[in-house]
Structures are given as C-alpha cells and as structure tokens.
C-alpha cells in the first residue's frame, strides 16, 4: 500500500510540477530516493538506519507532496524582470 501511494503521489506531483512551470527535477529526485529505498528494502535490516524502509518511503512521499504544493502555490507569483531598465 505504501509503495502504491508513493507512486500515485509521484504521478500527481509530476503533473503539478509540469503545470507549474516544468520543475521536473524535484519529481525525479524523489523518484530516485524512493526507488533506492525500495531496492534496498531486502537488505535494510543488515545496514544501520535511523528509520525503517517503510517510514523512509512515507517521508519521501510527504516531502514530495509538500514540494508539489509549494510549486503549485508559487506558480502565479510574478517574478520581477531584473533586466528591465
């Protein structure tokens, strides 16, 4: 369930970042972090970590949703053109 939630949030975040101005680096970064967490899940107990693999995947999911929310919120804020005289 956690894995499907992560990928569902990833798809929504990718759409939001695309709509908000092509900030795709955030989505790719979190997909990479989540993929590495899922890939290392089998050997997770043998390596020292602060959180379990599931907890870490939840953290990546929440952070990805927060970044998508921020990108959606700031999409309409105009950026001043510093080249105007």
- In the chain, what are the domain boundaries? 2-74
pLDDT digits (tens, 9 = 90+) for 49-68: 677 777 888 888 888 888 88
Q: Would the pTM of this model clear 0.85, i.e. be above it?
A: no
CA 79 to chain centre: 24
For residue 52, give every residue at least 6 positions away whose Cβ sits within 8 Å of its Cβ, in sequence order, or none.
44
Q: Which residues of the chain have pLDDT under 50?
A: none
Residues 28 and 10 sit within 8 Å (Cβ to Cβ) = no
Residues 85 and 30 sit within 8 Å (Cβ to Cβ) = no
Residues 13 and 26 sit within 8 Å (Cβ to Cβ) = yes
Give the chain's length.
Answer: 85
């Amino acid at each position: 369930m956690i894995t499907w939630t992560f990928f569902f949030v990833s798809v929504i975040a990718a759409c939001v970042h695309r709509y908000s101005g092509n900030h795709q680096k955030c989505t790719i970064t979190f997909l990479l972090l989540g993929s590495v967490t899922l890939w290392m899940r089998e050997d997770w107990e043998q390596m020292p970590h602060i959180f379990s693999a599931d907890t870490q995947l939840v953290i990546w999911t929440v952070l990805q949703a927060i970044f998508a929310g921020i990108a959606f919120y700031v999409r309409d804020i105009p950026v001043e053109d510093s080249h105007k005289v």
